[in-house]
Copies of this chain bind each other. A is one copy, B any other.
Amino acid sequence: MLSHIKIVLVETSHPGNIGAVARAMKNMTMSNLRLVSPKIFPSADATARASGANDILSAAEVYDSLSEAISDCQVVLGASARDRTISWPELTARECAEKFAGTGEGSKENVAIIFGRENSGLKNHELDCCHYLLRIPCNEDYSSLNLAAAVQVVSYELLVATGHKVESTIGDKDADPLASMAQMELFYEHLQQTISDIGFLHVDKTQSIMRRLRRIYNRVSLDTKELDILRGILRYSQNHNKK
């Protein structure tokens, strides 16, 4: 039912946590687990903590990089403790569930929910891939949710939301499919090259400017037709400069 939701764990240190996550997912009818460079996997600790959710563990896909793990996803959320220094669109766990649980059957979009390292969470360049930060309401003075506990709460909200038969409403469009993360990465490469070609991009500002541009275009959830138009503009801009 929730097969379009991919739980992605980045560089998990303790294999027991991976097992506990599998159990938490299965309890809530989720099945799609992706692991980015887990420290130890497979592992007896993971199997022990999975406690009957071994099918989730054996079907888990292991990737070398986050970008590979989310390349077929159209929407990406990064679980993160609140950090007031980063301004990014936020969804609570409930808002996320109501927006993305969908009815399952009709959902075309794959949604990745990314959980970071046990101690240090997600890095800035990983958050840059995200359309939204996902925040679990909690005690602001003690907000270190255990990894499996965080997955448990989010999966629970997703299951409850499927019972509410929320239609999938990513964007408000009826026509073209949303661009995948792989397509968006090609767009960002093209965008960076173009604004460098026209002299807008000073080397020392590249990172901060590109971060802001990503934030704009991730936020808007482009469909593939729109992406074609924007890339057409970039192409013309580059070619024109060569004349």
A52 to chain B, nearest CB (A): 7
Q: Is A60 in contact with chain B by the CB < 8 A criterion? A: no
Measured CB to CB, the closest approach of chain B to A80, in angstroms, equals 13
In the complex, what residues of B have CB within 8 A of residue A137's CB? 156, 159-160, 163-164, 166
The count of identical subunits is 2
A142 in contact with B232 given A170-B89, A240-B198 (CB within 8 Å): no
Asked whether A183 is an interface residue with its Cβ less than 8 Å from the other chain, the reply is no
A141 to chain B, nearest CB (A): 9
Residues 198-233 of chain A, each 1 if its beta carbon lies under 8 Å from chain B, else 0 = 111000000001001101110110100110011011
A122 within 8 A of B: no
Stretch at the interface among A4-12, A19-27, A69-77, A102-110: A19-27
Partner of A236 from the list B166, B198, B229 (CB cut-off 8 Å) is B198
A145 on interface, CB distance cutoff 8 Å: yes
A residues at B contact (CB < 8 Å) = 20, 23-24, 26-29, 51-53, 84, 87, 89-92, 94-95, 132, 135-139, 142-146, 148-149, 152-153, 156, 159-160, 163-164, 166, 168-175, 195, 197-200, 209, 212-213, 215-217, 219-220, 222, 225-226, 229-230, 232-233, 236-237, 240-241
Chosen A-B contacts, 5 in total, with CB atoms closer than 8 Å, are: A137-B166, A138-B156, A156-B156, A195-B233, A195-B236
